[in-house]
Amino acid sequence: MIIKRFKTIITLIALSSSFCMGQAPKKPMAQLINDEFKFAVDQYKVLANNIPAGLTPQSYANGKSINHDIKWWCSGFYSGSLWYLYEQTKDASIKKEAEEALKVIEPNQTYTGNHDLGFMMYCSFGNAYRLTGKPEYKAVVQRSAESLASRYRPSIKSIQSWDKNRYWQCPVIIDNMMNLEMMNWVSDHGGSPKYKEIAISHSNTTLKNHFRDDFSSFHVIDYNLETGAIIKKATWQGAANCSAWSRGQGWALYGFTMMYRFTKDATYLKQAKGIAHFILNHPNLPADKIPFWDFDAQGIPFTKRDASAGALIASALLELGQFTSGQEKEEFKSAAETMIYSLASPAYRAKLGENGGFLLMHSTGAYPLNSEIDVPLVYADYYYLEALLRYKKWYL
């Protein structure tokens, strides 16, 4: 009993003080956002020099840059981040780099090998079209939606995430909610209504099957493709099948908030609020509100953080705040502010010229697979920049 109490005290102390020593004095948010975008432009010019031709950046570890071919699910985040930087700074060299990065991944518009076309093509070409209005960019997004639609399986009323393999028959992962933004957008901008219908169908199935009573989400639901029956519920990148993998909760929060934006279905808003309260009220959420890689991970508070989950959740909370009011709106805004200040501090944000050119440190890709642990990740940067942009747009 004494040992148990001692561990509890240590945990509480660590959670309340973790990373605080690295936090910079608070700037006014407007100044912080301006400074962060200026820093990011200079830092991404460093990153650009570390990318071999035909590849896209992913991470940096052991003094080496890590890049992948264009079929990697993260291939659109680099160009998407560059468009966010150009939007805020109008730096011509950044725009040129963004345009070149689009050329590298353009062939992905006909790729049907997984569910990640939204990540790959909407974060990139979607932002490019939003800022330039070039019809050729819109055409790529429309073609990408058709490719993604090919993975819709009527028998399970969902988009199949990964192909059948030795682990799964027909897996659908919570991450897939993010790719529905492209489907909704294309239908709302002159494309076939079927894309939005698929997005709604997938969301409803996810709502039914992915969540526990406390609004936490499983990572993977495996289906029998012939009968539509659930084979198993699992968490592939989290601590255990019964755990709440942090980035997965972020995908869920962002996804259902986004679905409410496109449909105004109150069921989606209720779900997003429930997920947000699960995250923000969790006893294992640290004081700086940057989650551990899993809310139920062993070794808390001494295990690894996931800055990518923090950036993603901050961005989602800022949008959710647009659909709420009063104390709840302030709660979501305040939590996102804390996350942004934390991520902008030396505890998480790299120094100029370091970290391989990436902005944020201390992300975790797949801890149980011993993959991408305590490293920068390109999508952490993307959602960090998006959170900064959203705060400036909606709250300043």
Q: How many Cα atoms within 13 Å fall on the side-chain side of residue 378?
A: 27
Q: Is 87 exposed, middle or buried (0-12, 13-18, 19+ CB in 10 A)?
A: middle
Do 115 and 81 touch, CB atoms closer than 8 A?
Answer: no
The strand pairing partners of 305, in sequence order, are: 292
Cα separation, 385 vs 380, in Å, equals: 9
**Active-site position among 35, 42, 69, 175:** 175
The strand pairing partners of 57, in sequence order, are: 67
DSSP state letter for 239: S
Considering only CA atoms, which of 266, 246, 269, 265 is closest in space to residue 319? 269
* 364's tokens: 């975790």
- Residue 116 among the catalytic residues: yes
DSSP state letter for 305: B
Which phi and psi angles does 376 have, rounded to 5°?
-70, 150
Number of Cβ atoms within 10 Å of the Cβ of 316: 30
- The residues, ordered by sequence, that sit 6+ positions from 368 with a Cβ below 8 Å of its Cβ are 236, 237, 238, 239
Over its C-alpha atoms, the chain yields an Rg (Å, rounded) of 20
**Active-site position among 35, 42, 91, 116:** 116
DSSP state letter for 306: -
Do 307 and 290 touch, CB atoms closer than 8 A?
Answer: yes
Do 225 and 156 touch, CB atoms closer than 8 A?
Answer: yes
Residue recorded with tokens 């902008």: 344
- Residue 35 among the catalytic residues: no
* Cis amide leading into 301 (omega within 30): yes
Query: What SS3 state is found at 208?
Result: helix
The beta-strand segments (E) located in 14-170 are 56-61, 64-68, 152-153, 158-159
Cα separation, 337 vs 106, in Å, equals: 35
Active site residues: 116, 175
